[in-house]
């Protein structure tokens, strides 16, 4: 009888240890998966300046247009027209920059909106126009702007050939 009780106790203890170990593994996995999410979703992909290994949306440059608005030049991962806009947060204000495909390059996108101050940190969020959900975000400090230069057109003037006498 003693022996049966001992065997039953060992079996119960082994099952208890297995349950504790498997429960702690499940809890550790759950905790790790929650840390990688923000409000139940995956963290937004980072928006950054373009590099040679870029495959998603990235920022090429900033410049001021001739009308005084800020233009954000971007590369997109597709050649279709953009289905997103950019929301720029500065202090407590948000500005919307509608985006359109650039005329000359199939993957270039231009987003245009109000000029922002140089030298201050700004938060950029790419937002889908269809579902109104954030696609990517990044913080940028605009160091300087390329200014738009007016195009000068000149008409060629006729200049007579040199009048040299042959030798």
Q: What is the DSSP string of 130-161?
A: TT--EEEEEEEE----EEP------PPPP-PP
Cα–Cα distance measured from residue 108 to residue 150, given in angstroms and rounded to the nearest whole number: 22
| Three-class secondary structure of residue 46 per DSSP | strand
pLDDT over threshold 90, residue 97: yes
> Which residue has better confidence, 163 or 28?
28
Q: Which of 53-57, 67-71, 75-79, 161-165 has the largest mean confidence?
A: 67-71
Residue 30's pLDDT band, with cuts at 50, 70 and 90, is: confident
Tell me the average pLDDT across 99-110: 83
CA distance to 46, 84, 120, per residue, from 139 (Å) = 9, 18, 10
pLDDT over threshold 50, residue 101: yes
Q: Is the pTM of this model over 0.95?
A: no
Cα–Cα distance measured from residue 83 to residue 153, given in angstroms and rounded to the nearest whole number: 36
Find the radius of gyration of the CA atoms of the chain: 31
Q: Which fold has domain 58-147?
A: Immunoglobulin-like (2.60.40)
pLDDT over threshold 80, residue 40: no
């Amino acid at each position: 009888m003693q022996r049966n009780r001992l065997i039953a106790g060992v079996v119960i203890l082994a099952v208890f240890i297995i349950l504790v170990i498997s429960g702690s593994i499940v809890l550790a996995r759950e905790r790790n998966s929650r840390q990688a999410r923000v409000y139940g979703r995956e963290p937004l992909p980072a928006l950054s300046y373009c590099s040679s290994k870029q495959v998603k949306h990235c920022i090429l440059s900033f410049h001021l247009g001739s009308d005084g608005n800020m233009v954000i030049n971007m590369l997109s991962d597709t050649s279709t027209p953009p289905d997103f806009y950019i929301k720029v947060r500065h202090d407590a204000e948000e500005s919307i920059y509608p985006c359109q495909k650039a005329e000359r390059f199939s993957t270039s996108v231009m987003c245009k909106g109000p000029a922002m101050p140089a030298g201050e940190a700004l938060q950029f969020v790419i937002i889908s126009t269809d579902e109104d959900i954030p696609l990517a975000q990044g913080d940028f400090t605009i160091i300087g702007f390329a200014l738009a230069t007016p195009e000068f057109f000149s008409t060629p003037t006729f200049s007579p050939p040199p009048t040299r006498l042959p030798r």
